[in-house]
Chains A and B, each alone.
Chain A
Amino acid sequence: MNDLPMGWEWSSLGEIGKYINGRGFKKTEWRESGRPIIRIQNLTGTSDAFNYFQGEADERHIVRDGDLLVSWAATLGVFVWRGPEAVLNQHIFKVVSYVDPRFHRHLLEHVLGDLQRQTHGSGMVHITKKRFDATPIPVPPLNEQERIVAAIEEHLSVLDRASLTTSAVAARLPRLLDATTRRLIHGHGPSGEAEFSQDPGHPLPEGWSWKRLSDLGEMGRGKSKHRPRNDPILYGGPYPFIQTGDVAAAQGVLKEYRKTYSEAGLAQSRLWPAGTVLITIAANIADSAILGLDACFPDSVVGLIPDVTGVRAEWVEYFLRVEQERLERFAPATAQKNINLRTLRAVVVPVPPLVEQDRILDELDTWSTTVSALSKSLARTKRRAAKARRSIVASAFSGRLVQQDPSDEQASELLKHIRAEKPVKKRQSKTKVSS
Chain B
Amino acid sequence: MVSDSKALVDKLWNYCNILRDDGLSYGDYLEQLTYLLFLKMAEEQRQLGLDRIVPEDLDWPSLLELKGEALEAHYITILNELGRNGDMLGVVFRKAQNRIQDPAKLERLIKDLIDGQEWMTLGADVKGDAYEGLLEKNAADTKSGAGQYFTPRALISAMVEVMRPSPDMRICDPACGTGGFFLAAYEYIVGHHPHLDPDQKKHLRSGAFTGWEIVDNTARLCAMNLLLHGIESPDSDSPIYVDDALRADPGERFDMVLTNPPFGKKSSVTIVNAEGKAERQSMTVVRDDFWASTSNKQLNFLQHVKTLLKVEGSAAIVVPDNVLFEGGAGETIRRRLLHECDVHTLLRLPTGIFYAQGVKANVLFFDRKPGSDTPWTKELWIYDLRTNMHFTLKTNPLSRSDLDDFVDCYQADDRSKREESERFKRFMYEELVAKDKASLDIFWLRDESLEDVDNLPPPGVIAAEIVEDLEAALAEFSELAESLADVGGTGAD
Task: Write the residues of chain A forming the contact surface with B, with a CB cutoff of 8 angstroms.
Answer: 82, 149-159, 161-162, 165-166, 168-169, 171-173, 175-176, 178-180, 182-183, 190, 325, 381, 385, 387-388, 390-395, 398, 400-401, 435
Q: Which of A82, A391, A394 contacts B434 (CB 8 A)?
A: A82
13 interchain pairs, CB-CB under 8 A? A152-B327, A154-B296, A158-B483, A161-B325, A172-B450, A172-B466, A179-B457, A179-B458, A182-B456, A387-B493, A390-B491, A435-B331, A435-B436
Inter-subunit contact B459/A179 (CB<8 Å): yes
Inter-subunit contact B476/A165 (CB<8 Å): yes
Q: In chain B, what residue has the closest Cβ to A168?
A: B469
B457 cross-chain contacts in A, Cβ below 8 A: 179
Q: In chain B, what residue has the closest Cβ to A402?
A: B487
- Residue B328 interfacial (CB < 8 Å): yes
Interface string of B475-492 (1 = CB under 8 A from A): 011011001100111011
Tell me, in angstroms, the Cα distance from A394 to B457 when the chains sit together.
Answer: 43
Known pairs A82-B434, A179-B462, A390-B492; A154 contacts B329 (CB<8 A): yes
Tell me, in angstroms, the Cα distance from A157 to B437 when the chains sit together.
Answer: 9
Q: In chain B, what residue has the closest Cβ to A176?
A: B462
Tell me, in angstroms, the Cα distance from A385 to B492 when the chains sit together.
Answer: 13
Known pairs A154-B328, A179-B458, A395-B489; A162 contacts B322 (CB<8 A): no
Among B287-330, those with CB < 8 Å from A are 294, 296, 321-322, 325-330
Inter-subunit contact B449/A157 (CB<8 Å): no
Q: In chain B, what residue has the closest Cβ to A173?
A: B466
Known pairs A175-B462, A400-B489; A155 contacts B453 (CB<8 A): no
- Residue B472 interfacial (CB < 8 Å): yes
Inter-subunit contact B458/A162 (CB<8 Å): no
In the complex, what's the smallest C-beta–C-beta distance from B109 to chain A, in angstroms? Answer: 45
Tell me, in angstroms, the Cα distance from A165 to B483 when the chains sit together.
Answer: 19
B462 cross-chain contacts in A, Cβ below 8 A: 172, 175-176, 179
A161 cross-chain contacts in B, Cβ below 8 A: 321-322, 325, 476
A392 cross-chain contacts in B, Cβ below 8 A: 484, 487, 491
Tell me, in angstroms, the Cα distance from A180 to B459 when the chains sit together.
Answer: 5
- Residue B473 interfacial (CB < 8 Å): yes
Tell me, in angstroms, the Cα distance from A131 to B488 when the chains sit together.
Answer: 31
In the complex, what's the smallest C-beta–C-beta distance from B158 to chain A, in angstroms? Answer: 27
- Residue B48 interfacial (CB < 8 Å): no
Inter-subunit contact A157/B450 (CB<8 Å): no
Q: In chain A, what residue has the closest Cβ to B472?
A: A165
Inter-subunit contact B331/A153 (CB<8 Å): yes
B1 cross-chain contacts in A, Cβ below 8 A: none
Tell me, in angstroms, the Cα distance from A165 to B492 when the chains sit together.
Answer: 24
Inter-subunit contact A176/B466 (CB<8 Å): yes
Q: Which of A178, A387, A435 contacts B492 (CB 8 A)?
A: A387
B436 cross-chain contacts in A, Cβ below 8 A: 435
Number of B positions contacting A (CB below 8 A)? 43
Ranked nearest first, the 9 interchain pairs of A and B with the lowest CB-CB distance are: A153-B327, A154-B328, A391-B491, A162-B476, A150-B328, A157-B327, A390-B492, A165-B473, A394-B492
* A-B pair number, CB within 8 angstroms: 119
Known pairs A168-B450, A395-B487, A400-B489; A154 contacts B327 (CB<8 A): yes
Known pairs A162-B480, A176-B466, A180-B459; A156 contacts B473 (CB<8 A): no
Interface string of B430-469 (1 = CB under 8 A from A): 0000101100000000000110010011111011011001
Inter-subunit contact A398/B489 (CB<8 Å): yes
Inter-subunit contact A171/B434 (CB<8 Å): no
Known pairs A172-B466, A179-B457; A155 contacts B484 (CB<8 A): yes
A150 cross-chain contacts in B, Cβ below 8 A: 327-329, 332
B484 cross-chain contacts in A, Cβ below 8 A: 155, 392
Most buried by B among A161, A171, A325: A161
Known pairs A153-B328, A176-B459, A179-B459; A159 contacts B489 (CB<8 A): no
Tell me, in angstroms, the Cα distance from A338 to B484 when the chains sit together.
Answer: 57
Tell me, in angstroms, the Cα distance from A162 to B480 when the chains sit together.
Answer: 9
- Residue B64 interfacial (CB < 8 Å): no
Tell me, in angstroms, the Cα distance from A392 to B327 when the chains sit together.
Answer: 14
Tell me, in angstroms, the Cα distance from A434 to B89 when the chains sit together.
Answer: 53
Known pairs A161-B322, A387-B492, A400-B488; A178 contacts B450 (CB<8 A): no
- Residue B470 interfacial (CB < 8 Å): yes
In the complex, what's the smallest C-beta–C-beta distance from A82 to chain B, in angstroms? Answer: 7
Tell me, in angstroms, the Cα distance from A153 to B469 when the chains sit together.
Answer: 23
Q: In chain A, what residue has the closest Cβ to B321?
A: A161
Tell me, in angstroms, the Cα distance from A166 to B471 when the chains sit together.
Answer: 10
Tell me, in angstroms, the Cα distance from A150 to B479 when the chains sit together.
Answer: 17
Interface string of B27-70 (1 = CB under 8 A from A): 00000000000000000000000000000000000000000000
A400 cross-chain contacts in B, Cβ below 8 A: 487-489
Inter-subunit contact A156/B465 (CB<8 Å): no
A393 cross-chain contacts in B, Cβ below 8 A: 492
Inter-subunit contact B466/A395 (CB<8 Å): no
Tell me, in angstroms, the Cα distance from A151 to B296 when the chains sit together.
Answer: 12
Q: In chain B, what residue has the closest Cβ to A156?
A: B327
Tell me, in angstroms, the Cα distance from A173 to B450 when the chains sit together.
Answer: 10
B327 cross-chain contacts in A, Cβ below 8 A: 150, 152-154, 156-157
Q: In chain B, what residue has the closest Cβ to A398?
A: B489
Q: In chain B, what residue has the closest Cβ to A394?
A: B492
Tell me, in angstroms, the Cα distance from A341 to B272 when the chains sit together.
Answer: 77
Tell me, in angstroms, the Cα distance from A392 to B450 when the chains sit together.
Answer: 32
Q: Which of B329, B463, B493 contacts A176 (CB 8 A)?
A: B463
Q: In chain A, what residue has the closest Cβ to B331?
A: A153
B459 cross-chain contacts in A, Cβ below 8 A: 176, 179-180, 183, 190
Tell me, in angstroms, the Cα distance from A391 to B481 when the chains sit together.
Answer: 12
Tell me, in angstroms, the Cα distance from A141 to B321 when the chains sit together.
Answer: 33
In the complex, what's the smallest C-beta–C-beta distance from A151 to chain B, in angstroms? Answer: 6
A183 cross-chain contacts in B, Cβ below 8 A: 458-459
Known pairs A161-B476, A168-B450, A435-B436; A155 contacts B483 (CB<8 A): yes
Known pairs A391-B492, A394-B491; A435 contacts B437 (CB<8 A): yes
B466 cross-chain contacts in A, Cβ below 8 A: 169, 172-173, 176
Known pairs A179-B459, A395-B487, A398-B489; A154 contacts B330 (CB<8 A): yes
A166 cross-chain contacts in B, Cβ below 8 A: 469, 473
Known pairs A172-B450, A176-B466, A178-B456; A162 contacts B326 (CB<8 A): no
In the complex, what's the smallest C-beta–C-beta distance from B34 to chain A, in angstroms? Answer: 39
Inter-subunit contact B469/A172 (CB<8 Å): yes
In the complex, what's the smallest C-beta–C-beta distance from A300 to chain B, in angstroms? Answer: 26
| 4 extra A-B contacts, CB within 8 A, seeds A154-B327, A172-B465, A175-B449 | A155-B483, A172-B469, A175-B456, A183-B459
Tell me, in angstroms, the Cα distance from A166 to B456 when the chains sit together.
Answer: 21
Inter-subunit contact A155/B480 (CB<8 Å): yes
B472 cross-chain contacts in A, Cβ below 8 A: 165
B492 cross-chain contacts in A, Cβ below 8 A: 387, 390-391, 393-394
Q: In chain A, what residue has the closest Cβ to B452?
A: A175
Q: Which of A169, A387, A390 contacts B470 (CB 8 A)?
A: A169
Tell me, in angstroms, the Cα distance from A261 to B152 when the chains sit together.
Answer: 69
Inter-subunit contact B480/A388 (CB<8 Å): yes
Tell me, in angstroms, the Cα distance from A32 to B437 when the chains sit together.
Answer: 33
B477 cross-chain contacts in A, Cβ below 8 A: 162, 381, 385
Q: Which of B322, B460, B491 contacts A158 (CB 8 A)?
A: B322
Tell me, in angstroms, the Cα distance from A398 to B321 when the chains sit together.
Answer: 30
In the complex, what's the smallest C-beta–C-beta distance from B415 to chain A, in angstroms? Answer: 30
A179 cross-chain contacts in B, Cβ below 8 A: 456-459, 462
B332 cross-chain contacts in A, Cβ below 8 A: 150
Tell me, in angstroms, the Cα distance from A152 to B328 when the chains sit together.
Answer: 7
Tell me, in angstroms, the Cα distance from A390 to B472 when the chains sit together.
Answer: 22
Tell me, in angstroms, the Cα distance from A261 to B170 when the chains sit together.
Answer: 89
Tell me, in angstroms, the Cα distance from A133 to B437 when the chains sit together.
Answer: 29
In the complex, what's the smallest C-beta–C-beta distance from B90 to chain A, in angstroms? Answer: 40
Inter-subunit contact A159/B473 (CB<8 Å): no
